[in-house]
Protein backbone atom coordinates (compact mmCIF):
# COMPACT_ATOMS: atom_id res chain seq x y z
CA UNK A 1 0.00 0.00 0.00
CA UNK A 2 1.36 3.41 -1.00
CA UNK A 3 0.20 5.26 2.04
CA UNK A 4 0.75 8.72 0.64
CA UNK A 5 -1.55 8.05 -2.29
CA UNK A 6 -4.37 6.37 -0.44
CA UNK A 7 -7.71 8.02 0.22
CA UNK A 8 -8.88 8.81 3.73
CA UNK A 9 -11.59 6.17 3.48
CA UNK A 10 -9.06 3.49 2.57
CA UNK A 11 -6.68 4.62 5.31
CA UNK A 12 -9.48 4.44 7.87
CA UNK A 13 -10.37 0.93 6.69
CA UNK A 14 -6.76 -0.21 6.98
CA UNK A 15 -6.51 1.25 10.49
CA UNK A 16 -9.72 -0.46 11.54
CA UNK A 17 -8.54 -3.72 10.02
CA UNK A 18 -5.28 -3.22 11.95
CA UNK A 19 -3.21 -3.86 8.82
CA UNK A 20 -1.85 -0.38 9.54
CA UNK A 21 -1.21 1.42 12.80
CA UNK A 22 -1.61 5.12 13.37
CA UNK A 23 2.04 5.25 14.46
CA UNK A 24 3.18 3.70 11.16
CA UNK A 25 1.02 6.11 9.22
CA UNK A 26 2.16 9.17 11.16
CA UNK A 27 5.77 8.08 10.92
CA UNK A 28 5.51 7.58 7.17
CA UNK A 29 4.21 11.14 6.75
CA UNK A 30 6.83 12.54 9.10
CA UNK A 31 9.45 10.76 6.99
CA UNK A 32 8.06 12.21 3.77
CA UNK A 33 8.00 15.69 5.30
CA UNK A 34 11.60 15.30 6.46
CA UNK A 35 12.59 14.25 2.98
CA UNK A 36 10.60 16.64 0.81
CA UNK A 37 9.61 19.68 2.79
CA UNK A 38 13.02 21.32 2.74
CA UNK A 39 12.22 22.05 -0.91
CA UNK A 40 8.68 23.25 -0.25
CA UNK A 41 8.75 24.96 3.16
CA UNK A 42 5.11 24.01 3.71
CA UNK A 43 5.45 23.43 7.46
CA UNK A 44 6.39 25.96 10.14
CA UNK A 45 6.34 23.63 13.13
CA UNK A 46 6.77 19.88 13.48
CA UNK A 47 6.87 18.01 16.77
CA UNK A 48 7.36 14.34 15.95
CA UNK A 49 7.30 13.04 19.56
CA UNK A 50 4.02 14.81 20.21
CA UNK A 51 2.51 13.60 16.92
CA UNK A 52 3.61 10.03 17.57
CA UNK A 53 2.29 10.12 21.13
CA UNK A 54 -1.08 11.16 19.74
CA UNK A 55 -0.82 8.36 17.17
CA UNK A 56 -0.14 5.84 19.94
CA UNK A 57 -3.18 7.11 21.80
CA UNK A 58 -5.20 6.66 18.62
CA UNK A 59 -3.90 3.09 18.29
CA UNK A 60 -5.12 2.39 21.83
CA UNK A 61 -8.54 3.74 20.88
CA UNK A 62 -8.59 1.60 17.75
CA UNK A 63 -7.60 -1.46 19.79
CA UNK A 64 -10.56 -0.74 22.05
CA UNK A 65 -12.87 -0.46 19.07
CA UNK A 66 -13.44 3.24 19.72
CA UNK A 67 -13.02 4.25 16.10
CA UNK A 68 -14.38 7.06 13.98
CA UNK A 69 -13.62 7.92 10.34
CA UNK A 70 -10.53 9.98 11.24
CA UNK A 71 -9.24 8.04 14.25
CA UNK A 72 -5.53 7.51 13.78
CA UNK A 73 -5.28 9.62 10.63
CA UNK A 74 -2.79 12.48 11.10
CA UNK A 75 -3.83 15.83 9.72
CA UNK A 76 -1.85 19.04 9.33
CA UNK A 77 -3.30 22.31 10.55
CA UNK A 78 -2.79 25.79 9.28
CA UNK A 79 -0.70 27.72 11.77
CA UNK A 80 -3.63 30.07 12.37
CA UNK A 81 -5.33 27.56 14.68
CA UNK A 82 -4.25 27.70 18.33
CA UNK A 83 -3.17 24.26 19.53
CA UNK A 84 -2.33 23.81 23.18
CA UNK A 85 1.42 23.47 23.66
CA UNK A 86 2.19 24.12 19.98
CA UNK A 87 3.97 27.12 18.62
CA UNK A 88 1.20 29.08 16.87
CA UNK A 89 2.72 31.84 14.76
CA UNK A 90 0.10 32.83 12.19
CA UNK A 91 3.07 33.20 9.84
CA UNK A 92 4.30 36.27 11.69
CA UNK A 93 7.39 37.39 13.53
CA UNK A 94 4.91 38.95 15.94
CA UNK A 95 3.89 35.49 17.17
CA UNK A 96 7.13 33.70 16.36
CA UNK A 97 7.52 32.91 20.09
CA UNK A 98 3.87 32.29 20.93
CA UNK A 99 3.03 28.85 22.30
CA UNK A 100 -0.75 28.64 22.48
CA UNK A 101 -2.08 27.75 25.93
CA UNK A 102 -5.39 26.45 24.61
CA UNK A 103 -6.98 24.57 21.71
CA UNK A 104 -9.11 26.15 19.03
CA UNK A 105 -12.54 24.52 18.69
CA UNK A 106 -11.38 23.03 15.39
CA UNK A 107 -8.35 21.48 17.09
CA UNK A 108 -10.60 20.13 19.86
CA UNK A 109 -12.78 18.50 17.24
CA UNK A 110 -9.81 16.68 15.69
CA UNK A 111 -8.50 15.66 19.12
CA UNK A 112 -11.90 14.23 19.98
CA UNK A 113 -11.94 12.34 16.67
CA UNK A 114 -8.54 10.82 17.49
CA UNK A 115 -6.71 12.51 14.62
CA UNK A 116 -3.06 13.23 15.54
CA UNK A 117 -1.81 16.75 14.78
CA UNK A 118 0.85 16.20 12.14
CA UNK A 119 2.29 19.72 12.12
CA UNK A 120 1.49 23.39 11.64
CA UNK A 121 1.52 24.59 8.06
CA UNK A 122 3.01 27.73 6.62
CA UNK A 123 0.79 30.61 5.60
CA UNK A 124 0.80 34.23 4.58
CA UNK A 125 1.36 36.48 7.58
CA UNK A 126 -1.94 36.76 9.48
CA UNK A 127 -3.57 35.18 6.40
CA UNK A 128 -2.93 38.32 4.37
CA UNK A 129 -1.73 37.28 0.97
CA UNK A 130 -2.51 35.29 -2.14
CA UNK A 131 0.87 33.69 -2.75
CA UNK A 132 2.31 32.67 0.62
CA UNK A 133 5.13 35.11 0.06
CA UNK A 134 4.28 37.29 3.07
CA UNK A 135 5.12 34.58 5.61
CA UNK A 136 7.82 35.49 8.13
CA UNK A 137 8.98 31.90 7.71
CA UNK A 138 9.69 32.27 4.01
CA UNK A 139 7.66 31.53 0.89
CA UNK A 140 6.13 28.13 0.20
CA UNK A 141 6.83 26.58 -3.18
CA UNK A 142 4.33 24.97 -5.47
CA UNK A 143 5.01 21.19 -5.65
CA UNK A 144 4.06 21.21 -9.35
CA UNK A 145 6.73 23.76 -10.14
CA UNK A 146 9.12 25.01 -7.53
CA UNK A 147 9.37 28.35 -9.32
CA UNK A 148 5.66 28.96 -8.79
CA UNK A 149 3.73 30.17 -5.78
CA UNK A 150 1.26 27.74 -4.14
CA UNK A 151 -1.32 30.50 -3.68
CA UNK A 152 -2.37 31.81 -0.31
CA UNK A 153 -2.98 32.35 2.37
CA UNK A 154 -3.36 28.61 3.11
CA UNK A 155 -0.41 27.93 0.81
CA UNK A 156 1.42 25.64 3.22
CA UNK A 157 -1.65 23.45 3.64
CA UNK A 158 -2.24 23.33 -0.11
CA UNK A 159 1.37 22.51 -0.97
CA UNK A 160 1.57 19.86 1.75
CA UNK A 161 -1.57 18.15 0.48
CA UNK A 162 -0.45 18.39 -3.16
CA UNK A 163 2.92 16.83 -2.29
CA UNK A 164 1.08 14.18 -0.25
CA UNK A 165 2.88 15.25 2.92
CA UNK A 166 -0.42 15.00 4.76
CA UNK A 167 -3.66 13.18 3.91
CA UNK A 168 -5.56 16.45 4.37
CA UNK A 169 -5.06 19.84 5.97
CA UNK A 170 -7.16 22.54 7.50
CA UNK A 171 -7.14 26.04 6.13
CA UNK A 172 -9.00 29.29 6.48
CA UNK A 173 -10.59 31.35 3.78
CA UNK A 174 -11.26 35.09 4.13
CA UNK A 175 -11.19 36.05 0.45
CA UNK A 176 -10.21 32.82 -1.27
CA UNK A 177 -7.45 31.55 0.99
CA UNK A 178 -8.53 27.90 0.65
CA UNK A 179 -9.97 27.82 -2.86
CA UNK A 180 -7.23 29.79 -4.62
CA UNK A 181 -4.26 27.75 -3.24
CA UNK A 182 -6.24 24.54 -3.79
CA UNK A 183 -6.67 25.61 -7.39
CA UNK A 184 -3.03 26.58 -7.86
CA UNK A 185 -1.84 23.31 -6.27
CA UNK A 186 -4.23 20.99 -8.15
CA UNK A 187 -6.14 19.75 -5.11
CA UNK A 188 -9.67 20.08 -3.70
CA UNK A 189 -10.60 22.67 -1.09
CA UNK A 190 -13.82 23.78 0.55
CA UNK A 191 -14.81 26.94 2.38
CA UNK A 192 -18.08 26.23 4.20
CA UNK A 193 -20.92 28.67 4.79
CA UNK A 194 -19.92 31.44 7.21
CA UNK A 195 -20.82 30.24 10.70
CA UNK A 196 -20.43 26.50 10.01
CA UNK A 197 -17.01 26.19 11.60
CA UNK A 198 -16.26 27.84 14.93
CA UNK A 199 -13.76 30.68 14.77
CA UNK A 200 -12.83 30.18 18.42
CA UNK A 201 -9.07 29.79 18.57
CA UNK A 202 -8.65 30.69 14.90
CA UNK A 203 -6.56 33.85 14.90
CA UNK A 204 -8.75 36.56 13.43
CA UNK A 205 -7.93 38.42 10.26
CA UNK A 206 -11.33 39.78 9.16
CA UNK A 207 -13.92 38.39 11.53
CA UNK A 208 -16.99 38.78 9.32
CA UNK A 209 -15.29 36.94 6.44
CA UNK A 210 -12.98 34.35 8.06
CA UNK A 211 -14.10 30.76 7.81
CA UNK A 212 -12.24 27.54 8.49
CA UNK A 213 -12.28 24.78 5.90
CA UNK A 214 -10.44 21.81 4.45
CA UNK A 215 -7.90 21.02 1.72
CA UNK A 216 -7.49 17.43 0.49
CA UNK A 217 -6.98 15.53 -2.77
CA UNK A 218 -10.64 14.64 -3.36
CA UNK A 219 -14.15 15.82 -2.56
CA UNK A 220 -14.78 12.60 -0.67
CA UNK A 221 -11.80 13.36 1.58
CA UNK A 222 -13.12 16.88 2.12
CA UNK A 223 -16.50 15.49 3.17
CA UNK A 224 -14.92 13.14 5.71
CA UNK A 225 -12.79 15.86 7.27
CA UNK A 226 -15.60 18.41 7.21
CA UNK A 227 -17.76 15.97 9.17
CA UNK A 228 -15.29 16.27 12.02
CA UNK A 229 -14.59 19.96 11.67
CA UNK A 230 -18.05 21.51 11.78
CA UNK A 231 -20.08 21.68 14.94
CA UNK A 232 -21.78 24.24 17.09
CA UNK A 233 -19.57 26.11 19.52
CA UNK A 234 -21.15 28.57 21.96
CA UNK A 235 -17.82 30.38 22.31
CA UNK A 236 -18.25 31.85 18.83
CA UNK A 237 -21.36 34.04 18.71
CA UNK A 238 -21.38 33.87 14.91
CA UNK A 239 -21.31 30.04 14.89
CA UNK A 240 -24.62 28.61 13.78
CA UNK A 241 -26.43 25.79 15.50
CA UNK A 242 -27.45 23.32 12.81
CA UNK A 243 -28.64 19.74 12.91
CA UNK A 244 -25.76 17.29 12.49
CA UNK A 245 -25.15 16.44 8.85
CA UNK A 246 -23.15 13.65 7.18
CA UNK A 247 -21.45 15.31 4.22
CA UNK A 248 -20.56 11.92 2.73
CA UNK A 249 -24.16 10.68 2.65
CA UNK A 250 -25.18 12.32 -0.62
CA UNK A 251 -21.93 12.01 -2.58
CA UNK A 252 -23.25 9.37 -4.97
CA UNK A 253 -26.39 11.16 -6.11
CA UNK A 254 -26.53 11.49 -9.89
CA UNK A 255 -26.38 14.99 -11.37
CA UNK A 256 -29.09 14.64 -13.99
CA UNK A 257 -31.04 17.89 -14.25
CA UNK A 258 -28.45 19.96 -12.40
CA UNK A 259 -28.61 23.60 -13.48
CA UNK A 260 -25.17 25.17 -13.55
CA UNK A 261 -25.16 28.96 -13.43
CA UNK A 262 -22.32 30.56 -15.38
CA UNK A 263 -21.85 34.21 -14.45
CA UNK A 264 -20.81 36.12 -17.51
CA UNK A 265 -18.51 38.21 -15.28
CA UNK A 266 -16.49 35.05 -14.49
CA UNK A 267 -15.81 34.35 -18.16
CA UNK A 268 -14.47 37.73 -19.18
CA UNK A 269 -11.25 38.94 -20.74
CA UNK A 270 -9.60 38.81 -17.37
CA UNK A 271 -9.44 35.02 -17.49
CA UNK A 272 -6.40 33.59 -19.25
CA UNK A 273 -7.04 31.31 -22.21
CA UNK A 274 -5.46 28.19 -20.68
CA UNK A 275 -7.70 28.50 -17.64
CA UNK A 276 -10.76 29.17 -19.80
CA UNK A 277 -10.06 26.07 -21.88
CA UNK A 278 -9.75 23.78 -18.87
CA UNK A 279 -12.93 25.21 -17.36
CA UNK A 280 -14.81 24.71 -20.64
CA UNK A 281 -13.69 21.10 -20.76
CA UNK A 282 -14.91 20.57 -17.20
CA UNK A 283 -18.29 22.08 -18.07
CA UNK A 284 -18.58 19.70 -21.01
CA UNK A 285 -17.92 16.84 -18.62
CA UNK A 286 -20.72 18.10 -16.37
CA UNK A 287 -23.03 18.16 -19.38
CA UNK A 288 -22.15 14.54 -20.05
CA UNK A 289 -23.17 13.89 -16.42
CA UNK A 290 -26.59 15.35 -17.13
CA UNK A 291 -26.19 18.98 -16.13
CA UNK A 292 -27.35 21.99 -18.13
CA UNK A 293 -25.88 25.47 -18.46
CA UNK A 294 -27.70 28.63 -17.41
CA UNK A 295 -26.32 32.04 -18.25
CA UNK A 296 -26.47 34.29 -15.24
CA UNK A 297 -25.03 37.60 -14.16
CA UNK A 298 -23.43 38.74 -10.94
CA UNK A 299 -23.23 42.41 -11.92
CA UNK A 300 -21.42 43.63 -8.82
CA UNK A 301 -18.52 41.18 -9.14
CA UNK A 302 -16.11 43.91 -10.17
CA UNK A 303 -16.87 45.74 -6.92
CA UNK A 304 -15.99 42.79 -4.74
CA UNK A 305 -12.25 43.47 -4.70
CA UNK A 306 -12.54 47.14 -3.65
CA UNK A 307 -15.26 46.29 -1.11
CA UNK A 308 -13.12 43.52 0.31
CA UNK A 309 -10.08 45.76 0.56
CA UNK A 310 -12.08 48.22 2.63
CA UNK A 311 -13.87 45.82 4.95
CA UNK A 312 -11.17 43.22 5.55
CA UNK A 313 -8.45 45.77 6.43
CA UNK A 314 -10.94 47.71 8.60
CA UNK A 315 -11.62 44.63 10.71
CA UNK A 316 -7.98 43.57 10.59
CA UNK A 317 -6.72 46.95 11.82
CA UNK A 318 -8.79 46.42 14.96
CA UNK A 319 -8.23 42.65 15.29
CA UNK A 320 -4.46 43.08 15.18
CA UNK A 321 -4.41 45.81 17.82
CA UNK A 322 -3.95 43.17 20.54
CA UNK A 323 -0.48 42.45 19.21
CA UNK A 324 1.15 45.26 21.14
CA UNK A 325 4.17 43.60 22.72
CA UNK A 326 2.70 43.92 26.21
CA UNK A 327 1.35 40.49 27.18
CA UNK A 328 2.74 37.97 24.67
CA UNK A 329 4.39 37.76 21.31
CA UNK A 330 7.21 39.87 19.95
CA UNK A 331 8.49 42.84 21.96
CA UNK A 332 11.14 45.18 20.64
CA UNK A 333 14.39 44.96 22.54
CA UNK A 334 15.07 48.63 23.03
CA UNK A 335 12.29 51.05 23.77
CA UNK A 336 11.81 54.26 25.69
CA UNK A 337 8.30 54.94 26.86
CA UNK A 338 5.03 53.10 26.34
CA UNK A 339 4.33 54.61 22.91
CA UNK A 340 7.82 53.67 21.83
CA UNK A 341 7.24 50.10 23.03
CA UNK A 342 4.09 49.90 20.90
CA UNK A 343 5.61 51.51 17.85
CA UNK A 344 8.82 49.54 17.80
CA UNK A 345 7.23 46.20 18.62
CA UNK A 346 4.65 46.60 15.88
CA UNK A 347 7.06 48.12 13.37
CA UNK A 348 9.48 45.24 13.88
CA UNK A 349 6.90 42.48 14.43
CA UNK A 350 4.66 42.98 11.39
CA UNK A 351 5.65 42.56 7.75
CA UNK A 352 4.90 45.07 4.98
CA UNK A 353 1.63 43.54 3.72
CA UNK A 354 0.19 43.43 7.25
CA UNK A 355 1.23 47.04 7.81
CA UNK A 356 -0.34 48.03 4.49
CA UNK A 357 -3.67 46.53 5.54
CA UNK A 358 -3.56 47.98 9.06
CA UNK A 359 -2.93 51.41 7.58
CA UNK A 360 -5.70 50.99 5.02
CA UNK A 361 -8.11 49.75 7.66
CA UNK A 362 -7.26 52.53 10.09
CA UNK A 363 -7.80 55.05 7.32
CA UNK A 364 -11.22 53.81 6.23
CA UNK A 365 -12.50 53.81 9.82
CA UNK A 366 -11.26 57.31 10.58
CA UNK A 367 -13.53 60.23 11.29
CA UNK A 368 -14.56 61.82 8.04
CA UNK A 369 -13.84 58.74 5.93
CA UNK A 370 -15.99 56.13 7.66
CA UNK A 371 -19.16 56.88 5.71
CA UNK A 372 -17.47 57.13 2.34
CA UNK A 373 -15.51 53.91 2.73
CA UNK A 374 -16.68 51.55 5.46
CA UNK A 375 -20.40 52.27 5.31
CA UNK A 376 -20.44 52.43 1.55
CA UNK A 377 -18.60 49.13 1.34
CA UNK A 378 -21.17 47.55 3.67
CA UNK A 379 -23.94 48.72 1.35
CA UNK A 380 -22.24 47.27 -1.69
CA UNK A 381 -21.65 44.05 0.23
CA UNK A 382 -25.41 43.80 0.52
CA UNK A 383 -25.76 44.24 -3.26
CA UNK A 384 -23.25 41.47 -3.88
CA UNK A 385 -25.21 39.19 -1.57
CA UNK A 386 -28.43 40.08 -3.38
CA UNK A 387 -26.81 39.23 -6.74
CA UNK A 388 -26.20 35.68 -5.52
CA UNK A 389 -29.70 35.28 -4.09
CA UNK A 390 -31.09 36.42 -7.41
CA UNK A 391 -28.86 33.95 -9.26
CA UNK A 392 -29.88 30.99 -7.12
CA UNK A 393 -33.49 31.39 -8.23
CA UNK A 394 -32.29 30.26 -11.66
CA UNK A 395 -29.59 27.69 -10.96
CA UNK A 396 -28.51 25.08 -8.40
CA UNK A 397 -24.80 25.83 -8.42
CA UNK A 398 -22.58 28.55 -9.82
CA UNK A 399 -19.36 27.59 -11.58
CA UNK A 400 -16.35 29.44 -12.87
CA UNK A 401 -12.59 29.58 -12.52
CA UNK A 402 -11.23 29.67 -8.98
CA UNK A 403 -8.45 31.94 -10.14
CA UNK A 404 -8.08 33.92 -13.38
CA UNK A 405 -4.65 32.40 -14.04
CA UNK A 406 -2.61 29.37 -13.11
CA UNK A 407 0.04 29.77 -10.43
CA UNK A 408 2.33 32.72 -11.07
CA UNK A 409 6.02 32.77 -10.33
CA UNK A 410 7.46 33.52 -6.94
CA UNK A 411 8.27 37.23 -6.85
CA UNK A 412 6.20 37.99 -9.96
CA UNK A 413 3.52 40.08 -8.24
CA UNK A 414 5.11 41.06 -4.94
CA UNK A 415 5.83 44.59 -6.12
CA UNK A 416 2.28 45.17 -7.36
CA UNK A 417 -0.30 44.64 -4.64
CA UNK A 418 -3.23 45.48 -6.93
CA UNK A 419 -2.29 42.68 -9.36
CA UNK A 420 -1.92 40.38 -6.38
CA UNK A 421 -5.34 41.40 -5.05
CA UNK A 422 -6.98 40.74 -8.43
CA UNK A 423 -5.95 37.09 -8.27
CA UNK A 424 -8.80 36.68 -5.75
CA UNK A 425 -11.43 38.39 -7.88
CA UNK A 426 -13.58 35.24 -8.29
CA UNK A 427 -13.33 34.02 -4.73
CA UNK A 428 -13.78 37.20 -2.69
CA UNK A 429 -17.47 37.80 -3.40
CA UNK A 430 -18.29 34.37 -1.94
CA UNK A 431 -16.85 35.47 1.42
CA UNK A 432 -18.65 38.80 1.22
CA UNK A 433 -21.89 36.88 0.78
CA UNK A 434 -21.01 34.22 3.38
CA UNK A 435 -21.69 31.40 0.90
CA UNK A 436 -19.96 28.02 0.66
CA UNK A 437 -17.42 27.57 -2.12
CA UNK A 438 -15.34 24.68 -3.35
CA UNK A 439 -12.45 24.33 -5.75
CA UNK A 440 -11.54 21.13 -7.61
CA UNK A 441 -8.71 20.43 -10.04
CA UNK A 442 -9.89 20.21 -13.67
CA UNK A 443 -6.70 20.04 -15.68
CA UNK A 444 -3.56 21.94 -16.45
CA UNK A 445 -2.76 25.23 -18.12
CA UNK A 446 0.43 26.99 -19.08
CA UNK A 447 3.66 25.32 -17.94
CA UNK A 448 1.64 22.32 -16.79
CA UNK A 449 0.37 24.24 -13.78
CA UNK A 450 -3.04 23.17 -12.38
CA UNK A 451 -6.38 24.82 -13.07
CA UNK A 452 -9.18 24.83 -10.52
CA UNK A 453 -12.94 25.00 -11.04
CA UNK A 454 -14.90 26.90 -8.42
CA UNK A 455 -18.32 25.67 -7.31
CA UNK A 456 -20.47 28.13 -5.37
CA UNK A 457 -23.64 27.02 -3.63
CA UNK A 458 -26.42 28.59 -1.62
CA UNK A 459 -26.16 28.74 2.17
CA UNK A 460 -25.61 25.35 3.83
CA UNK A 461 -25.40 23.54 0.50
CA UNK A 462 -21.98 22.00 1.34
CA UNK A 463 -23.31 18.46 0.95
CA UNK A 464 -24.65 19.27 -2.49
CA UNK A 465 -21.42 20.98 -3.58
CA UNK A 466 -19.44 17.96 -2.42
CA UNK A 467 -21.80 15.67 -4.31
CA UNK A 468 -21.37 17.74 -7.50
CA UNK A 469 -17.58 17.70 -7.08
CA UNK A 470 -17.47 14.00 -6.24
CA UNK A 471 -19.49 13.01 -9.30
CA UNK A 472 -17.01 14.87 -11.49
CA UNK A 473 -14.13 13.14 -9.72
CA UNK A 474 -15.78 9.76 -10.28
CA UNK A 475 -15.75 10.49 -14.01
CA UNK A 476 -12.27 12.07 -14.20
CA UNK A 477 -8.93 11.60 -12.54
CA UNK A 478 -7.46 15.12 -12.25
CA UNK A 479 -7.77 14.91 -8.47
CA UNK A 480 -5.77 11.69 -8.42
CA UNK A 481 -2.82 13.25 -10.19
CA UNK A 482 0.09 14.36 -8.11
CA UNK A 483 3.26 16.25 -8.93
CA UNK A 484 6.40 14.34 -9.84
CA UNK A 485 7.96 15.49 -6.61
CA UNK A 486 5.28 13.63 -4.63
CA UNK A 487 6.07 10.36 -6.37
CA UNK A 488 9.74 10.51 -5.51
Partner 1 sequence: MEWETVIGLETHTQLRTLSKIFSGASTAFGAQPNAQASAVDIALPGVLPVMNRAAVEHAIRFGLAVGATVAARSIFARKNYFYPDLPKGYQISQYEIPVVLGGAVRVTLEGVERSIQLTRAHLEEDAGKSLHEDFHGLSGIDLNRAGTPLLEIVTEPDMRSAAEAVAYARALHRLVMWIGICDGNMQEGSFRCDANVSVRPRGQKEYGTRCEIKNLNSFRFMEKAIEFEVRRQIALIEEGGTVVQETRLYDADRDETRPMRSKEDAQDYRYFPDPDLLPLVIDAQWVERVRAALPELPDAMAQRFQSVLGLSAYDAGVITASRPLAQYFEALLQNPKLGSRASGSDPEALYLDPKLCANWLCGELSAALHRENLEVEHSRITPGQLSGLLVRIQDGTISGKTAKEVFEALWQEGGEADAIIEAKGLRQISDDGALEKIVDQLIAENAVQVAEYRSGKDKVFGFFVGRAMKASGGRANPIQLNDILKKKLAP
User: Which is closer to partner 1, CB of 381 or CB of 449?
Assistant: 381
For this structure, is 487 an active site residue?
no
Which range in 40-48, 70-78, 281-289, 366-374 contacts partner 1 by CB under 8 A? 366-374
For the bound state, the minimum distance from the C-beta of residue 208 to partner 1, rounded and expressed in Å, comes to: 4
Question: Where does residue 466 rank: exposed (0-12), middle (13-18), buried (19+ CB within 10 A)?
Answer: buried
User: What gap in Å lies between CA 88 and CA 98, rounded to an integer?
Assistant: 6
Among the listed residues 484, 430, 9, the one whose alpha carbon sits nearest the alpha carbon of residue 217:
9
Q: What is the DSSP letter of 374?
A: I
Residue 370 binds partner 1, judged by CB under 8 A: yes
By CB under 8 A, the residues from 21 to 50 that bind partner 1 are: none
For the bound state, the minimum distance from the C-beta of residue 366 to partner 1, rounded and expressed in Å, comes to: 6
Residue 90 binds partner 1, judged by CB under 8 A: yes
User: What gap in Å lies between CA 93 and CA 146, rounded to an integer?
Assistant: 24
> Binding partner 1 by CB under 8 A: which of 2, 237, 393, 415?
237
For this structure, is 177 an active site residue?
yes
User: What gap in Å lies between CA 450 and CA 406, rounded to an integer?
Assistant: 6
> Binding partner 1 by CB under 8 A: which of 55, 140, 204, 406?
204
H helix or E strand, kind and range, residue 119:
strand 117-121
CB 219 within 8 A of CB 186: no
User: What gap in Å lies between CA 96 and CA 135, rounded to an integer?
Assistant: 11
| Cα angle value 419/423/424 (rounded, 5°) | 125
Residue 338 binds partner 1, judged by CB under 8 A: yes
User: Which is closer to partner 1, CB of 2 or CB of 237?
Assistant: 237
User: What gap in Å lies between CA 296 and CA 179, rounded to an integer?
Assistant: 22
- Strands (DSSP E) along 413-488, which ranges? 437-444, 450-456
User: What gap in Å lies between CA 406 and CA 149, rounded to an integer?
Assistant: 10
CB 413 within 8 A of CB 190: no
> Binding partner 1 by CB under 8 A: which of 164, 199, 413, 449?
199
> Binding partner 1 by CB under 8 A: which of 5, 288, 322, 394?
322
> Binding partner 1 by CB under 8 A: which of 29, 43, 86, 98?
98
CB 131 within 8 A of CB 406: no
For the bound state, the minimum distance from the C-beta of residue 124 to partner 1, rounded and expressed in Å, comes to: 16
User: Which is closer to partner 1, CB of 25 or CB of 106?
Assistant: 106
Number of residues that bind partner 1 (CB under 8 A): 45
Residue 384 binds partner 1, judged by CB under 8 A: no
Q: What is the DSSP letter of 30?
A: H
For this structure, is 120 an active site residue?
no
CB 230 within 8 A of CB 246: no
User: Which is closer to partner 1, CB of 207 or CB of 476?
Assistant: 207
What phi and psi values does residue 418 have, to the nearest 5 degrees? Answer: -65, -45
Residue 96 binds partner 1, judged by CB under 8 A: no
What phi and psi values does residue 385 have, to the nearest 5 degrees? Answer: -65, -45
> Binding partner 1 by CB under 8 A: which of 24, 56, 236, 348?
236
User: Which is closer to partner 1, CB of 12 or CB of 104?
Assistant: 104
Q: Is 302 helix (H, G, I), strand (E, B) or coil?
A: helix
By CB under 8 A, the residues from 388 to 447 that bind partner 1 are: none
Active-site hit among 21, 42, 153, 218: 153
> Binding partner 1 by CB under 8 A: which of 15, 104, 163, 425?
104
By CB under 8 A, the residues from 250 to 309 that bind partner 1 are: none
Active-site hit among 78, 93, 120, 141: 78
Verify cis geometry, omega within 30 degrees of 0, for the bond prior to 153. Answer: yes
Active site residues: 78, 153, 177
- Interface residue list for partner 1 (CB under 8 A): 81-82, 88, 90, 95, 98, 100-102, 104, 199-204, 206-208, 234-238, 314-315, 317-318, 320-324, 326-329, 338, 342, 362, 365-367, 370, 374
Amino acid sequence: MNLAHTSLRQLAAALRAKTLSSRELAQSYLDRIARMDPQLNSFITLDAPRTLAAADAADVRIAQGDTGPLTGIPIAHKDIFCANGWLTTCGSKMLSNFVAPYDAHVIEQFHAAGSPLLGKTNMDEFAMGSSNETSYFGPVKNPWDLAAVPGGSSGGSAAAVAARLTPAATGTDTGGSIRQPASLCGISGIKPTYGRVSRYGMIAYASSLDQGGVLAPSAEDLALVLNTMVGFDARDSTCLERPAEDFTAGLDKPLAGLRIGLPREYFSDGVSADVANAIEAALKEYERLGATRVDISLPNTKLSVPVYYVLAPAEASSNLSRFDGVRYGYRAKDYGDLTDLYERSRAEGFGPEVKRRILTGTYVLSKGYYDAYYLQAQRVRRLILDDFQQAFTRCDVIMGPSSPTVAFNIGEKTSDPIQMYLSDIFTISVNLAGLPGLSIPVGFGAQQRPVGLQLIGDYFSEAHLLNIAHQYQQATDWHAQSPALAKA
